[in-house]
Chains A and B, each alone.
Chain A
Amino acid sequence: MIFAVAMGAVLVTMGLALVRAAKGPTIFDRILALNMFGTKTVLLIAVMGFLTGRPDYLDLALVYALMNFIGVIGVLRFSKYGHFADPDRKDVA
C-alpha cells in the first residue's frame, strides 16, 4: 500500500517535470526537467521492484541512473558544441 502511494507521488513528480520540460522556456529548463525525470525513473523502478516483489529491478535502476547521467552530460555537450567531437582535437572532428 505504502509502495503504491510512494509510486503515485513519484509519478506525479515525473508529470510535473514533464510540464516544465514542455513549457521551457529555455533549453536549460528542459534539460533540468529531463534530469529530474530520469532521477525519478530510477526511484520509480526501485519502488516498483518492491511493489511487485521482484528486487531484481534494482539492477535496471542502476543502469538507468548511469544512462541518465551520461545522457544529460551528452545533451549538454551537444547543445554547447553542436557535435560530440572533442573541441581541443582537430584531427578527429
Chain B
Amino acid sequence: MDLLVDVVGGGLLLFGAAFALIGGIGLIRLPDFYTRIHGAGITDTLGAGLILSGLMFEAGVSIVTIKLLLILLFLWLTSPTATHALANSALETGLKPRLADGEEAASTP
C-alpha cells in the first residue's frame, strides 16, 4: 500500500516536473508574446497541479495535504487573473499579436 502511494505520488511529481519543463521550453521557443502566454500557462496549470498533487500523495492524510490543496487553489485562482491583466495591458499598450496568414478575427453570430 505504501509502495503504491509512493509510486503514484512520485509519478505525479515527475509528470508535473516534465510539464513545468515543457512550459519553460515553450516560453523560450514560441515566437511572440501572446503565444508565450500559452507556454507559461502549461507550467501554471498542469505543472503546478501535478507537482502539488504528487506532494499531497506523499504527505498522506494530514494538515500538510490541506495546506498543499489551499496553495494549489490559490495558484489556480490568481494565475488567470495575473495572465489576463498582463495580456490586457499588452493589448492596450498597442502590442499587436502575430496571427496566422494575416486572418481577420472570427466571431460567433
A and B touch in the complex (CB under 8 A): yes
Would you give the shortest CB distance from B34 to chain A, in whole angstroms? 9
Q: Is the interface of B mostly helix, strand, loop or mixed?
A: helix
Question: Do residues B27 and A2 form an inter-chain contact, with CB atoms below 8 A?
Answer: no
- The answer, yes or no, to whether A6 is at the interface (CB within 8 Å) is yes
Chain B window 72-102, contacts with chain A (Cβ cutoff 8 Å), 1 for yes, 0 for no: 0011001101110110011011010000000
- The answer, yes or no, to whether A84 is at the interface (CB within 8 Å) is no
Question: Do residues A36 and B43 form an inter-chain contact, with CB atoms below 8 A?
Answer: yes
Closest 8 CB pairs of A and B: A16-B24, A9-B17, A13-B24, A69-B78, A28-B90, A6-B17, A2-B10, A55-B64
A55 CA / B63 CA spacing, docked (Å): 10
Question: Given A32-B36, A55-B59, A80-B89, does the pair A20, B64 have CB atoms closer than 8 Å?
Answer: no
